[in-house]
Structure 1
Amino acid sequence: MSILIKRAAEHWEFVAPLLRKPKNEEDYDQLAQALDELLAMTGGDESHPLMSLVDIIGDWIEEWDHKHHPMPKPSGVEVLGYLMREHALSQSDLPGVGTQSVVSEILSGKRQLNVRQIRWLAERFAVSAETFI
């Protein structure tokens, strides 16, 4: 048996709880807490010896989140509102969509985006047209 395996076996009871994929929310919460502690210890130093453990636990947490806590897909109107806030745009800053009142009706849900408006928004924000559908 190699020395590395022998050392791992000697310390396994202490390390094992960190090296298991979560099977339930309690496991998930424990891994998330462990990740927080590891990140505090490593201080963002990518060369820190514990960063490989950070990566492993982070991947397991991400996998659990995608499966058990999926993010809902935002509507096109929600994306438009977000992009307007991010770019500090007012309703009148989107002439390709229409007048300020048209944009207001779209944002309030009284009107839907049409194909022409979607194409203009996709070009304006350099995103796929599917973003607004």
Structure 2
Amino acid sequence: MKIPDELVIFGRTYRVLEVSPIHVSEGVLGLASYREGAIYLDPSLDAALGLNTIWHEALYIAQQDVLGTSDEAQARWLALFVHNFLIHNPAILGCYLSCMSSDPDSLDPPDEDYHQTEKESPITNL
């Protein structure tokens, strides 16, 4: 699974690093370190669990940044929602990639796998 080396959350860059073997042996899938600016991830996770864990840790950081506190259960459920939403709605990624392009005249998705016809998509002419 190839996860980016860095993620930006609310304008701050977080390095994505491997959790220590001790944490892995204790069953820790990931950790967020707000102070260190790092997200630690178990490198042995499959793609689905790894991505869900990244969402979980990113949401955990967002809670800390916005609320000054975090809620483990809330981060878990929000991460599961986002992960499943993206898995079951892959065309939304193409929409983001094309609509947020640095070239405002380029609204074509970068990959045909993300293309939807006007009939299939409730959002047209973005």
TM-score, normalisation: structure 2: 0.27
Higher RCO (CA < 8 A, seq sep 6+): 1
TM-score, normalisation: structure 1: 0.26
Larger Rg computed on CA atoms: 1
Q: Whose helix fraction is larger, Structure 1's or Structure 2's? A: 1
Q: Whose strand fraction is larger, Structure 1's or Structure 2's? A: 2
